[in-house]
Structure 1
């Protein structure tokens, strides 16, 4: 009795260490360089929407971003005490740390503590995990929910009580409400149940939970279909998408990818279904569908109906380190003399993986590694603009820098804006119609254009009549005087053409100021006159 209690106590301590150590490592990696000095466009949307009132957020979700509705409400509570970039990203850090712990718990429960330890640490040091741990978006939280739900599935399948299944269903539902693409997790779990050959009672309980999740998610799916224009930028997938995702899941360095894949294959080949008792959850039965099914389904669908993006399947990454750790465990069991201290050897191997990928993790903490840096854009605007200056944002999404960093634009006159973003139920505000916009510009002797990089390209032809009116009026009535170009933004000062007579000319002359650069004829990338 005493010896059995000692063994159980030692096993519990080993499992606790196997879970807590990856959590701590993930927290350190996630907090490292968290305040990198700038938000990029997606984070800026989270930041400015979450600071609205709850009725304003609800108003917004009727027209745009309903897939992120629950996340925005969560971030509204997080940012209420002290809004800032660190607070914006802290939930993602916590989500990544929780996911690392759940991965470790799965490995420890399904195989042994050292497998959980290796899998959790490998998950924590993967660059893709570290990247999204520092994103002010929902994807790290979705990954935590998916890993937690997978752990709950294993527990619920071994129980005859309804409580564990209720916990499983609620966790999956919340995860899918954070992002609807997590619904593919149910397909992965169905694959797990097939591989585990569970009895009928488990299938009945799981189907009931899955149906409940689908009913909860149905309103979100129906509303989001009406907002499908938000994913119109996605492209069709191909072999390149598969190769890139494989590199993200394992790490881009070949020194890491090749052994990683070899260990995962070793783990899969070790499965002997005939020797497995029906209803038994092997690690491979859990990890293999998780890492393959959601990406495969979304990649296949996106060949014809583009819906795929790597971040949408971040939660599937949890299966990869579990397979690699299982393969390493099998290798250690076959080579006991070469690896007398297998647990420590595995930790050292993960440390080597971390060292190889450290330069990538370090570069990822530089603001310029994101698609844009709105803090840098706002700094340029702060130096160039003066209080009272009229500003025209081209297109309207260029206003995101002003919404994310309003201090840099304090006192300017937003010429095109008709209804501010919070009151209009939109992300960037409602702008005046082309006629009203022309009348407003007719009253000006100068205007600053704040343009997104693509908006200055000659080939760009906007679908919006308002955006076309901006280009036409500026080209017809104004000539460029100054230009400031930085990554992510172009600022141009336009003054009225001497030969053009406005409807209501202003008498206030524009004071001369030192030129920051010259723009040639047709400063919007085309000769004077409206674009075609």
Structure 2
């Protein structure tokens, strides 16, 4: 168990301070630094699904907030998961299977990626692996204590993220495959009912906040193929041997310890949560790879068990089984090392808020009026305030912590018009989708931003960086009635409006 833990720790700590947070990490960073009453206020309107994680991170970031502290719990969670995967392999099969499975988990790029994310998913994976190990220990035990430990661990894991509730389905399939007696089912059903009861308030609250996952799309065959690549590793040379070894795990002859077999535990863990979520998301989009990270633990267990079966079938070809397995995993690590190295770059994330703040620091001056379009474009200013120090946030009415929102409460449409009326120039900090002509916001305040900037201002300067567009707008000059610029009776066409939501054409190529 110790060797996979140390390897996962090394991979997780490698390049941990990459110098930038992306949007989801920035939300964790700014919410966790609020007071507990402010976090509780926020959870009533948004992000209830991450409530327990935010409260935990509040304690973690209190002594010394920073990017390393933000990501360190995920590193520890990933290391714990690698150790727990090894423990499952030892208990269900033999020590070398545990060693191989834990190491294979540690070198998988998906595990390394989420080990460096300031979000809850690596901790959820650790909780799921721990709950699965506790289930394996509880099944042969006549005492109620192990079942209490199993139910409590699973309840905390589901409170970290409600998608972990699908683990109950995986464990039910495990019990069914093992053909366990009715008394075991009664104990498990009691634990499952307790977990569901604890999670029920969160499920009800998060259902009312379902607009947060409106960005998710329907799944298809490509989604399943991509998930297979992430579970085994994107390198094609790894995928086929990985699948062949996993198939060998089902060949009779594996040693059996206790009431459960390794395939009966690992296959449902790896397959059931992703398949259920992928199927549901064909009609009701809820799927994202990060939501089923915890299912990854089953895949290396199957591959390691298959490798063990191969050494049993071909003992002369594999004289030193333990060393041969470690060497094979080292080769897998070498093949996927470039992927892990690239993942340490901020450019591998959807955006780079530190770079946005650096651009703002260079372009903006204290007192400059700034308009964020939409309001969530304010996230760079919240994560890295130094670049926006001293600016005038024209639309902001109540700051984010006091308003119980992620990005602050903005003025209503009429008030925002009055604020913009007194300006001769304004900087617009816009998300890329907000500059697309087809974008039409639901919020009246966001529509006023578009309308006023387009009708009363003209673009003077533009800076484009990955994840943000910054434009300086100056007020459109007034035309003198004595010297009309256009023949009477002709309307002046709007500048750069290609459709609702489009902004004025930028002044030449972006910098």
What secondary structure is seen at the aligned counterpart in 2 of 1:494?
strand
Deviation for aligned residue 1:26: 0.1
1:477 and 1:500 in contact (8 A); partners too: no
2:265 maps to which residue? 286
The answer to whether the aligner puts 1:350 opposite 2:329 as a matched pair is yes
- CA drift of 1:145 comes to 0.2
- What is the aligned partner in structure 1 of residue 487 from structure 2? none
Residue 299 of structure 2 is aligned to residue 320 of structure 1: yes
Q: How far off is 1:526 after superposition?
A: 4.7
Q: Map of 1:117-128 to 2, 5 A cutoff?
A: 117-128=99-110
- Report the Cα offset of residue 217 of structure 1: 0.2
Q: For residue 525 of structure 1, report the CA deviation from its aligned partner.
A: 4.0
Do the aligned partners of 2:9 and 2:75 also contact (CA within 8 Å) in 1? yes
**Residue 454 (structure 1) shift:** 1.2
What is the alpha-carbon distance in structure 2 between the residues aligned to residue 475 and residue 236 of structure 1? 35
Displacement of 1:276 in angstroms is 8.0
- Alignment match of 2:252 (pick from 270, 281, 289): 270
Greater displacement, 323-332 / 334-343: 334-343
Pairwise mapping of residues 210-289 of structure 1 onto structure 2 (< 5 A)? 210-270=192-252, 280-289=259-268
Cα distance in 1 for residues equivalent to 2:282 and 2:497: 40
Partner residue in 2 for 1:91: 73
Separation in structure 1 between the aligned mates of residue 371 and residue 450 of structure 2, nearest angstrom: 10
**Cα deviations across residues 57-82 of structure 1 (Å, max 9, x unaligned)?**
00000000000000000000000000
Would you say the 8 A contact 1:389–1:448 is kept in 2? yes
- Among residues 342, 348, 373, which one is paired with 1:363 in the alignment? 342
The change in CA–CA distance for 1:421 and 1:327 in structure 2 (over 3 A counts) is: same
Partner of 2:434: 455
CA contact (8 A) 2:450 2:503 kept: no
Q: Measure the CA separation in 1 of the matches of 2:25 and 2:398.
A: 23
> 2: distance between equivalents of 1:471 and 1:114?
62
> Is the partner of 2:283 in helix, strand or coil?
coil
Cα 1:276/1:324, change in 2 over 3 Å = closer
Deviations 1:158-192 (A, max 9, x none): 11111111110110000000000000001101111
| Shift of residue 269, structure 1, vs aligned partner | 3.5
Measured after TM superposition, the shift of residue 337 of structure 1 is 1.1
Say if 1:104 and 1:119, in contact at 8 Å, map to a contact too: yes
CA offsets, 1:476-501, max 9 Å, x none?
11111111111111111111111179
User: Would you say 1:71 and 2:53 are equivalent positions?
Assistant: yes
Query: Which segments of structure 1 move beyond 6 Å, counting only runs of 4 or more?
Result: none
**2:151 counterpart (155, 169, 176):** 169
Are 2:85 and 2:98, in contact at CA under 8 Å, matched by a contact in 1?
Answer: yes
Cα distance per residue 1:422-466 (max 9 Å; x no partner):
011000001001100000001111111011111111221112111
Per the alignment, do residues 527 and 95 of structure 1 end up closer, same or farther by CA in structure 2, a change over 3 Å counting?
closer
What SS class does the counterpart of residue 249 from structure 2 fall into? helix
In the TM superposition, 1:507-526 aligns within 5 A as 521=496, 525-526=502-503
* 2:491 counterpart residue number: none
Instruction: Give me the TM-score of the superposition, normalised by structure 2.
Output: 0.94
* CA distance in 1: counterparts of 2:169 and 2:299, whole angstroms: 17
1:308 aligns with 2:287: yes
Q: Distance between the aligned counterparts of 2:466 and 2:102, measured in 1?
A: 37
Q: Secondary structure at the match of 1:220?
A: helix
1:464 paired with 2:446, answer no
CA RMSD, 1 decimal: 1.6
Please tell me whether the aligned partners of residues 420 and 429 of structure 1 are also in contact (alpha carbons under 8 angstroms): yes
The SS at the match of 2:469 is strand
Deviations 1:84-141 (A, max 9, x none): 0000000000000000000000001111000000000000000000000000000000
* Distance in 1, Cα, partners of 2:171 & 2:440: 46
For 2:483, the equivalent position in structure 1 comes to none
Quote the residue 2:409 is aligned against: 430
| 1:399 aligned residue (378, 394, 404) | 378
Name 1:508's counterpart in structure 2: none
The answer as to 2:187 corresponding to 1:205 is yes
CA gap of 1:458–1:401, structure 2 versus 1, over 3 A, is same
**Cα distance in 2 for residues equivalent to 1:148 and 1:50:** 25
Unaligned runs of 5+ in 2: 481-494, 506-511
Q: 1:101 aligns with which of 72, 78, 83?
A: 83
Q: Once the 2 structures are TM-superposed, how far is the Cα of residue 336 of structure 1 from its aligned partner?
A: 1.2
8 Å Cα contact 2:267-2:298 kept in structure 1? yes
Deviations 1:384-428 (A, max 9, x none): 000010000001010000000111111000000001100110000
SS at match of 1:499: coil
Are 1:197 and 1:280, in contact at CA under 8 Å, matched by a contact in 2? Answer: no
Cα displacement (A) at 1:527: 5.5
Aligned to 2:282, the other structure's residue is in SS state coil
Indicate if the aligned counterparts of 2:435 and 2:503 stay in contact, CA closer than 8 A. no
User: Deviation of residue 378 (structure 1)?
Assistant: 0.4
